[in-house]
Amino acid sequence: MDCSELFERVSTIVTDDSIAAAVRNKNMHETLVLTCAEGLKNSKHGFGDLNAQVETLIRLLHIPMDEANAIRRMRRHSNRTQELSPEDLLYDARALATFIGRVFNAAVPDDLTSTLPRNRQTRENTLHTNSPDKRCIVTAWDKTTITVIIDEDGAESPMTVYYTKASQYAHMDYLYNILQEGMHLNLLGCEVEGKAITPRLIVVEPDCLLDVSVIASCFEDYGHHPLLYIVSRLRERPNSQAILLGNFAGNALDDIINNPKANIRQTLIRNFKEKALEYSTCPDFDANQFKQDATTQATNIQQAIAELHKNFDLNKAILEPSFICEKLGIQGRVDLMTTDLKLLVEQKSGRNIFLERNYKNIHGSQIVEKHYVQLLLYFGILYYNFNKSKNDIRLLYSKYPLPDGLMSVANLMKLVYEAIRFRNEAVALEFDIAHNGFEHILPKLTADHLNTTNAQGFFYERFLRPTLDATLMPLQHLSPLERSYFCRMMQFVIRENLMSKVGTANGDANSVANLWNMPLTEKKETGNIYTELTIAHKEKSRTDEGNNSYDLITLNVPKQGVDFLPNFRRGDMVCLYAYPENEEPDIRKALVFKGGLADIHSDRLTVKLNNGQQNPHIFDKLPYSTIFSSAEAGTRRPEQRFVWCIEHGSSDVGGGAAIHSLYEFITSTDSRKALLLGQRSPRRDKSLTLSRSYDPLLDPILLKAKQAQDYFLLVGPPGTGKTSRALKFMVQESLSSEESVLLLSYTNRAVDEICGMLVEAGIEFIRIGNELSCAPSFEPYLLSNMVGEAPKLNEMKQLLLQTRVVVGTTSMLQSRPFLFSLKHFSVAIVDESSQILEPNIVGLLAGHRATSPTQDHPVCNIDKFILIGDYKQLPAVVQQNDGDAAVSEPELQAIGLYDCKSSLFERLIRQEQKSGRTAFIGTLQRQGRMHPDIAEFPNREFYFNEQLQPVPLRHQEAKSIGYKEASEDAIDDLLKQHRLLFIASKDCRQPDISDKVNADEARIVTDLLRRIHRFTSTAFDADKTVGVIVPYRNQIAMIRLEIEKLGIPDLERISIDTVERYQGSQRDIIIYSFTIQQRYQLDFLTANVFEENDHLIDRKLNVALTRARKQLILTGNPEVLSYSPVFKKLIDYAKENKGYLNRYKTEKA
Per-residue DSSP letters for 878-896?
--S-HHHHB---HHHHTTT
Q: Could you list the mean pLDDT of each consecutive 10-residue stretch along the chain, which spans 1149 residues?
A: 90 88 87 92 74 90 92 90 88 96 95 91 63 91 96 81 83 95 94 92 97 95 95 93 96 87 88 93 93 96 95 92 96 94 95 91 90 95 90 95 92 90 98 97 97 93 95 97 98 96 73 92 90 95 71 95 85 95 95 94 93 88 62 52 94 84 97 98 98 97 98 98 96 96 95 97 96 92 89 92 97 94 97 96 92 60 98 93 93 97 97 97 97 98 95 96 94 97 94 88 98 95 97 91 94 94 94 96 94 95 98 98 98 97 70
DSSP-assigned letter for residue 602: S
Per-residue DSSP letters for 335-349? Answer: SEEETTSSEEEEEE-
Tell me how far apart the alpha carbons of residues 22 and 755 are, in angstroms, rounded to a whole number. 47
Dmax of the chain from CA atoms? 93
Residue 142, phi-psi category: left (phi > 0), alpha (psi -120 to 50), beta (remainder): beta
1138: left (phi over 0), alpha (psi -120 to 50) or beta: left
987: how many CB neighbours lie within 10 A of its CB? 11
Burial of 283 (0-12, 13-18, 19+ CB in 10 A): exposed
CA of residue 968 relative to chain centroid, distance: 48
Tell me how crowded residue 17 is: count the other CB atoms within 10 A of its CB: 6
Contact between 188 and 133 under an 8 Å Cβ cutoff? The reply is: yes
- Residues 6 or more apart from 664 whose CB is under 8 A from it? 236, 842, 843, 846, 847, 848
Tell me how far apart the alpha carbons of residues 426 and 211 are, in angstroms, rounded to a whole number: 12
C-alpha separations of 1119 from 986, 1077, 1111, 1116 in Å: 9, 9, 24, 9
Cβ atoms < 10 Å from Cβ of 573: 14
CB-CB contact of 922 with 704 (8 Å): yes
How many whole angstroms separate alpha carbon 306 and alpha carbon 318? Answer: 16
Task: Please name the helix (run of DSSP H) or strand (run of DSSP E) that holds residue 913, with its range, or none.
Answer: helix 904-915
Rounded CA separation 381/404 (Å):
26
Q: Which residues of 392-418 are buried (b: 16+ CB within 10 A; e: fewer)?
A: bbbbbbbbbeeeebbbebeebeebbbb
CA distance 182 to 87: 30
pLDDT at 48: 76
330, β-bridge pairs: 210, 325
- Rounded Cα distance, 354 and 357, in Å: 5
Residue 877 CA to its chain's centroid (Å) = 10
Q: What is the pLDDT of residue 665?
A: 98
Instruction: Give start and end residues of each alpha helix (H) in 40-85.
Output: 50-60, 65-78
CB 1026, CB 1069: distance < 8 Å: yes
- Give the residues across from 945 on adjacent strands: none
- Asked whether the beta carbons of 360 and 354 are under 8 A apart, the reply is yes
Per DSSP (E only), the strands in 1036-1080 are 1055-1058, 1067-1073
* Nearest one of 956, 936, 955, 961 to 947, comparing CA atoms: 936
Burial of 299 (0-12, 13-18, 19+ CB in 10 A): middle
What is this structure's pTM?
A: 0.93
Whole-number pLDDT of residue 1137: 97
What span, in angstroms and rounded, lies between the C-alpha atoms of 846 and 855? 16
Q: Which long-range contacts does 86-95 make (Cβ < 8 Å, 24+ apart)?
A: 87/121, 88/121, 89/13, 89/14, 89/24, 90/14, 90/115, 90/116, 90/117, 91/117, 91/120, 91/121, 92/28, 93/10, 93/13, 93/14, 93/28, 94/70, 94/120, 95/67, 95/70, 95/71
Give the DSSP per-residue string, 349-405: -S--HHHHHT---TTSSSS-HHHHHHHHHHHHHHHHHH-----EEEEEETTS-TTTT
**Residue 152 vs residues 51, 72, 126, 134, 589: alpha-carbon distances, Å:** 12, 9, 10, 8, 20
- Three-class DSSP category at 151: coil
Q: How many CB atoms lie within 10 A of CB 22?
A: 17
Q: What percent of the residues of the chain are helix, what percent strand, and what percent coil, each to the nearest 5?
A: 45, 20, 40
Pairing, β 1089-1092 against β 1095-1098: antiparallel
**What are the strands, taking DSSP E only, across 614-676?**
642-648
- Whether the CB-CB separation of 740 and 752 falls below 8 Å is answered with no
Instruction: Please name the residues in contact with 516: beta carbons below 8 A apart, sequence gap of 6 or more.
Output: 324, 326, 586, 587, 588
Which of 319, 337, 248 lies closest to 550 in space, CA to CA? 319
Domains of the chain in start order, with CATH, are: 3-113 (no CATH), 134-204 (2.40.50.140), 228-237+295-421 (no CATH), 514-648 (2.40.30.270), 653-678+692-924 (3.40.50.300), 932-1141 (3.40.50.300)
Tally of residues, the chain:
1149
Q: Which helix (H) or strand (E) holds 537?
A: strand 529-539
Tell me what pLDDT residue 631 has: 37
Q: What confidence score (pLDDT) does residue 1146 get?
A: 66
Distance in angstroms (rounded) separating the CA atoms of residues 1056 and 35: 30
